[in-house]
Each structure stands twice: as structure tokens, then as C-alpha cells.
Amino acid sequence: MRITHLFLLTALLMSSMAQAERIKDLASIQGVRINQLVGYGLVVGLDGTGDQTTQTPFTTQSVTNMLTGLGVTLPPGTNMQLKNVAAVMVTADLPPFAQAGQGIDITVSSIGNAKSLRNGTLVMTPLKGADGRVYAMAQGNLVGVGVGAAASGSAVKINHLTVGRIPAGATVERSVATALGESGSINLELRQSDFTTASRVVDAVNARFGKDTARALNGRVIEVHTPVGENDRVAFLGGIEGLDVSPAQGMAKVIINARTGSVVMNQAITLDPSAVSHGNLTVTINTEPVISQPLPYSRGETVVTSQSQIEISQQPGEVILLKGSASLADVVKALNSIGASPQDLMAILQALKASGALHAELEVI
């Protein structure tokens, strides 16, 4: 595979000049955010694929507590063998300005040893926020769970069997108060801190709504004065989000994924003239079993040993001159001339960075 393929995503984003983006895509309003909710519940109605209660005693305890709360009294010492019930964690995101009665999507995940949650029903589960208060109630039939089958030691699975979603499976019971300019101002937070972009956002807002409407507090936060009336404030913020701003070009960076061998570069990198020598070293080890069989009636024992053969091969490397490059296309073309694999490219980029020829920040993820 040519190195060019590794930069396909970056090449699609290349342009000779920065493209204008909406402030809505560059920044968010401080305080307007989602809130994570979590709850513990039970999924019932499974077809024998639930938790094995001998290994998950909390499932049995939860079923007992649920039945007791519903007025069902179990005889002392009752040994319940539950195969159609699974203990699960329910998670959801409470969107900003959500009101009581609104439905939100939930994700249901098994925490025991259930084999599948397919066709299960989540029993009413309270969802709590970080403050311990209940903000939503979840219940419903799971959808989107995979399919699995097993027989005679063979098994086939399609998708994940122990995680499912319920669209609009939770009903909001309590809203989260969000202050939106009641004090006469709001703060815009850039998604990426940059002083140049912050200055351009301030200029765009002031040019549209008047001088001193916005001012940058730092490279990320921009204070904006808002109208007094709620209706005017909403229209004002909508107008700000729709303004176009050309963000500053990001710093030169090379992202290396050491696990997959992926290398991604942005448009800002440059390369000084340099020379690179690259060669491949291959080590091959072959191991074969050797069986020593005793002669008949010798009362000897069969001995099994192994014999290994090691081969080392090295391809000669040529010294290649990389010309100075001021654009991403030229850098990719220069690296393609080396003919290195993605794994070798990582070492070459690190060496170029250490030599000072590559002007970019290396980040390994």
C-alpha cells in the first residue's frame, strides 16, 4: 500500500486557503451542555440467556427486592434459578433545556454473565445524575441487539449481544436549570484554544452587532453582551451562531497510531532538505517437531523434540535525497519515494523530527 493511502482523509481536507466556518461549529455556549445519567435495572423476558444466578448473586437480590416492592412475599430460603433475567446498567445523555415529559434515548448494557439481551424488556429504572437526584425514568423493549447461535461446541455471533438501545426509552422527570444570559452576558468557548481564532470571532460579532458587543477574555473564552428580553436573546444568539469565521490554521502535527500503523498529517507541516537510507531486516524462525521412535521390544519410550531453523535476510537500503517541501502534497510525494511501510514510516518520521528536518509536532496515540 502506498503511503498516499494513509493520508486520504487529510488530502480531502486540503485547500489553498482557510475555509470559513460557522461560529456554531467553532464554539459552544458556556453552561449549555449535556448531563450524563446512569441507573441500575433488570431486563426480563429473555429466552434462557440471562444471568447465571450462582455467579451473579446481585441479580437474585435485585429480583427479590423488586418483587417485595410489588407486594410479593417469597418464602424464606427460596432458591430462585433465574435464566430469563439479567442485571444491566442503563446510561443516557440529558440534553440541555430538556423538559419534563420529553423522551430521550438510552443504552442498556449487561453487567453480569448474560449471553444475550435480545428481545428483553427493561423494567422501570430510575436514572440519576452526578448529584444523586433522579432526572428520568427508563423502561421499554430493547432493539438493535445482535443474534447468536451455538451447537456442538461451535458458535456464531452477529453484532454485540449484551448491549442494546431503546429509542426514547426514558422520560425526563426533572429539568436542569440553565442560565442563558440572565446576567446580561454569555461566554462563548472555542472548541480548540487559539488566540487568532478568538480575535476573528470577536471581530465578526462586533462587525455584525456593534462595537464592544464581544471581547476575548483569553484564547478560548469570549464574553458577549446579550439583550435583556428572552425572545431577543434567543434570536441574538442564533444570529451569532450563524456568523462565518475563518479559523486560524492549526499547528503542524503528525498523528501516529502505534497500534494500527496509521499515520495522519495536517496541511501545515513542512520538510527541510534531508537524506534518508532505508532497508528492511527480516528474521524468520521455523520450528519442526522431531520424533524418536524406539525399536520394537526395546522397552524404550518415544521422545518428541523440536528443531529450529533461523534465517536472517536484509534488503540493501539506498540513500535517498528528500527535497525541501512546503506543502503536504510535496511531503507525501517525498515520503513515497522511500517506499517504506507504515511501520517503517513511523521510525523515519521520528528520525526526521529528531534531526530537525521535519517541522511538525509528533503525537503518538
Binning pLDDT at 50, 70 and 90, where does residue 280 land? low
The least confident of 93-107, 206-220, 263-277 is 263-277
- The percentage of the chain sitting over the pLDDT mark of 70, rounded to a whole number, equals 78
CA atoms within 13 A on the CB side of 95: 12
Binning pLDDT at 50, 70 and 90, where does residue 9 land? very low
- The percentage of the chain sitting over the pLDDT mark of 90, rounded to a whole number, equals 33
- Segment 26-44 shows an average pLDDT of 92
What are the Cα distances from residue 150, in Å, to 116, 143, 145, 154, 305? 12, 21, 17, 5, 38
Q: How far apart are CA 346 and CA 257, in angstroms?
A: 9
- Answer yes or no: is pLDDT of 160 > 90: no
Percent composition of the chain: helix, strand, coil (DSSP 3-state, to 5): 20, 40, 40
- Answer yes or no: is pLDDT of 174 > 80: yes
The confidence score (pLDDT) of residue 100 equals: 93
CB 91 within 8 A of CB 109: yes
pLDDT digits (tens, 9 = 90+) for 85-110: 999 999 999 999 999 999 999 999 99
Q: How far apart are CA 8 and CA 107, in angstroms?
A: 33
The confidence score (pLDDT) of residue 51 equals: 87
The domains of the chain, with CATH numbers, are 19-32+179-245 (3.90.1150), 35-172 (no CATH), 253-364 (no CATH)
- Answer yes or no: is pLDDT of 148 > 70: no
pTM higher than 0.75 for the full model?
no
